A and B are shown apart, each in its own frame.
Chain A
Amino acid sequence: MKKYVMVHDENLCIGCQGCSVACRNENNVPDGVYRLQVHMKMSGTFPRLKTDFIRQSCVMCEESPCVTVCPTGASFKTDNGITLVDERLCVSCKYCLLACPYDARFVDPITKAIGKCTFCFQNRLSAGKEPACVTVCPTDALVFGDVNDENSEVSKLIAKKNVEYPKAHLNTKPSLGFIKNTKGGRYE
């Protein structure tokens, strides 16, 4: 069984928002909401500064609070670790929005159903393609694949680099990891 994992290397990410535009066009994301954002955060005092590049999207928890609280079973996990919403069952009660510690879900302003990142499960993965954000990333900061295949690029990356997971202390076991930014201006 495949288990899909995505890693965002904050050192390679340049915050160009290519991923965000591709995501919106691929998934017809309506204005005003987003499945994916990359936040750029500058910190420090001139000239000792750094800029972090933080991906904000569903982290595909193994222990998903959004699935647990869903009263209708609309929020569910696929066998390969992807959290999805079945729009036919969703009553838009928004419990999942409250339960999600990653602020990764939204109410679609048009359909009123709950929207979120799907790793492009139906529209790209099922056709053997990578998620749109991974495909277009200009610096290859996103690596995606089957973590159960030790020869996959993502497995090799995890073996080589220190991959961290957001809010790891919550024990939700995310499948979206990141490599922490180490870059910053060091001029005295």
Chain B
Amino acid sequence: MAISRRAFLKTSAGIGTLAAFEVNLGANSALMNAKSIKFVPSVCEMCSTRCPIEVEVVDGKCKIIQGNPKFSSNKTSVCARGGAGVNQLYDPKRIVKPLIRVGKRGENKWREASWDEALSYCATKLNEIKEKYGPQSVVFTSKTGESHTQLMNFACSYGSPNIFSHWSCCPITYNIVLNQTYGGGLSRDFANAKYIVNFGHNLFEGIVISDTKKVAKFANREDTKLLVLDPRFSVIAAKADEWLPVRPGTDLAFVMALIHVWIRDGKYDKKFVEKYTVGIEEVIKAVKDTTPKWQEAITGIKAKDVERIADEIYAKAPEVIIDWGHKTTTTRAEYQRTRAIAIANALMGNFEKKGGIFFGKSAGTFNKLCAEELFPTLANPDAGFKVPKTPRIDGCGEEGSKHFFIPRKHGVLMDIAPAILSQKPYPIKGWVSTRFNHLINVASTDEVVKAIDKLDFVLSIDVYLNDFANLADVVLPEATYLERDESIQNKSGTAPGYYMRNKVVEPIAGTKSGYEIFRELARLMKIDEGYTWKDINEYRMQQAKGNDKLIADLIKNGYVNWKVPQVYYREPKFVAKFVEKYPNATKFVDENGEMSSQVKFKTPSGKIELFLENVEAKFPGEGCINPNHMDVFGGHEFCLMSGKTAIHTNGHTQNIPILNHLMDQSPVWINPKAAKQKGFKDGDTVILKNKFGSVKATLMLTEGIREDTLFVYHGFGHVTPDLSDTNGMGTNQSVILDPADGVVCGTMVTNVGVDIIKA
């Protein structure tokens, strides 16, 4: 692009690439001569985990990021992406001024505009669409988090029900399954488990520091076992006590065989199942024929290994975790795979047990237990915003729709492009996206590009002129997380805790946060009657219900908690310690020393639902586990999988110089035997092809993958012209993904059958 939006580097002394030249003086003399050094506690946003961090600011410039030592699960730890937050902040490729398109869509011709002009332009365009087609004809997409909340508030004010988060292309399945089966989200006590079964949940590349630290230490212990099933020798597979290179997409068969063995041999926690669950009869029926022998032909794992592993796990129960993972997008049977995992955990009786799984306990829960308001609870300033009840383009939450069970604030991303192109169920004319690169993250990239071209107005809010932003009419430069004050967030686990993102430096060249952008836009459009707050300070104060000490603590420390003894309701030792400190809780203790009255499941039956009557009623056959829809080859020779690298976050970080230098390519993994058979050499350029499309790839020969499987790190293959270091590097797998979603959860499937041909 022609304009000099990078001029901010020249005017802000001592930042950005100039930093490299400071080395002339020596890092040390710079530090010794520094006028001011301060440490600002905040919250990371380089991935979706959001670890508490602390930033060292020297003379007004962010120098280094480390973990916030006050958060004991992480201490000072931070990953490569987290550490690179500084480099994103000062990346000369960042956009810092609002841009309005002047050429054809996607031509990368822009002019800079003032915030006033850009926001008025957006308001005019959005009002025009609303008048002509109704508010439902604008779709809103974002990644999950505070930006999603602010986008949602605005969409609700505008009147559109078509709100989407990134859920359907990543964590939707486990969120819905745990909710349906247990009535809420669950935590995993990785630190105290004795046995962990891991289905490719690669915590050593898709890093969540608190969990990664625990699992690394778990894997390093002599008295524990980490079993990893993954078609690829991932980093977590490399740390496993046993690695099973399972045939892609078939974990479900393995879990169903485990359940078969446990039931056949009576080796499951019968007392727990009787007291706390419903539907075991249906499970018994469902796994009657799913023997270890049956699964052998499907998974490639020997029957005798399944028998041995079933016994091993039961011997360690309840200190076992059968991990449901995070990116739950393996096959169209993903729902049943995750359901089988949820059921397997219940059979091991590990719920509310040390080393098992448990409900996170917030301040409210502890106040109830202690019968006293000991811990501050938060109010929700956004409670008034409701997703409009008008029909959505994907039918989420609507009677008679295949997406009935999907939350209306998360939606099914794959339905957006078809709705635009077909104008069904009604015309879509606008798209507002904040920090979500739909072209890289969602199936059918080519269709999405065609669809965007049909729109009257596209607004992208981003840090970069990324692939989606490049197709927009207006791009608003969002402040990076290091330049934003945000709200108080719940960080409770075994004990209540809160954390808060604090501005570390003033926004470069006046970029704005999601809170500011959407609030201002709503005010400008006079649709802000639902907003109870004017700015982030009011927002925080409302959340804290006027508790200024809580806010002051969070500004000073970034994270606050109260020394509360851990409690697992079904562990008498923990319960005893808890009531010793909080005697009011004694009334909840049973004769056997547990707090079983507190074990409550917010399900229709009030119990763990091994069989789901409500799902069965809407989707006959899906109420209990079934082994259908596991195939991910679709008649092709290979299955292409994708996954996370520790260096990048999805499609967002490829251009950040320090990370780009660590990893600027993403070749496709192939086993040397498979390559030899096809006549391919290391480094060959090939085409991956199926009925959904074709995409160029570079092959990397490695022993670390099955002969029938290919693997690529997700997030590469950008086409955005402005980011020259990333443009054309690596493969965007979304181009060839099957847009058909999984049952019940609408999950996008990231395993797909492909053939390889010479380029």
Contacts and interface: CB of A to CB of B under 8 A. Distances in A.
A137 interface: yes
Interface size class of A (residues with CB under 8 A): 35 or more
Nearest to B22: A28
B297 interface: no
A184 B238 contact: yes
Interface stretch (B76-84, B326-334, B472-480, B710-718): B76-84
A9 B221 CA distance: 13
A46 B705 contact: yes
B64 A25 contact: yes
B238 A49 contact: yes
Contact of B24 (A22, A49, A111): A111
**Residue picked from A21, A28, A123, most chain B C-beta under 10 Å:** A21
A26 B219 contact: no
Contacts of B28: 122-123
A110 B77 contact: no
B703 A183 contact: no
Contact of B207 (A11, A16, A111, A132): A16
Nearest to B662: A17
Interface in A100-134: 108, 110-111, 122-123, 132
A31 B703 contact: no
Contacts of B242: 186-187
Contact of B704 (A25, A42, A108, A111): A42
Contacts of B662: 17, 20-21
A136 B83 contact: yes
A57 interface: no
Contacts of A16: 79-80, 204-205, 207, 646
**Residue picked from A141, A184, A187, most chain B C-beta under 10 Å:** A187
A157 interface: no
Contact of A25 (B26, B83, B237): B83
A108 B238 CA distance: 35
B78 A136 contact: yes
Contacts of B671: 46
Interface in B651-702: 657-659, 661-662, 671, 673, 702
A21 B83 contact: yes
Contacts of B284: none
A172 interface: no
A145 interface: no
A139 interface: yes
Contacts of B704: 42, 46, 49, 51
B66 interface: yes
Contacts of B659: 21
Given A16-B207, A17-B662, A183-B239, A139 B703 contact: no
Contacts of A50: 238
Interface string B202-239: 00110101001100110110000000000001010111
User: Ordered nearest first, which 9 A-B pairs have the shortest CB separation?
Assistant: A21-B83, A139-B216, A51-B238, A185-B243, A122-B28, A14-B204, A16-B646, A17-B80, A138-B77
11 contacts: A14-B204, A14-B205, A21-B87, A25-B86, A28-B20, A47-B243, A122-B31, A132-B64, A136-B66, A140-B217, A185-B233
Interface of A: 9, 11-12, 14-18, 20-22, 24-31, 40, 42, 44-47, 49-51, 87, 108, 110-111, 122-123, 132, 135-141, 183-187
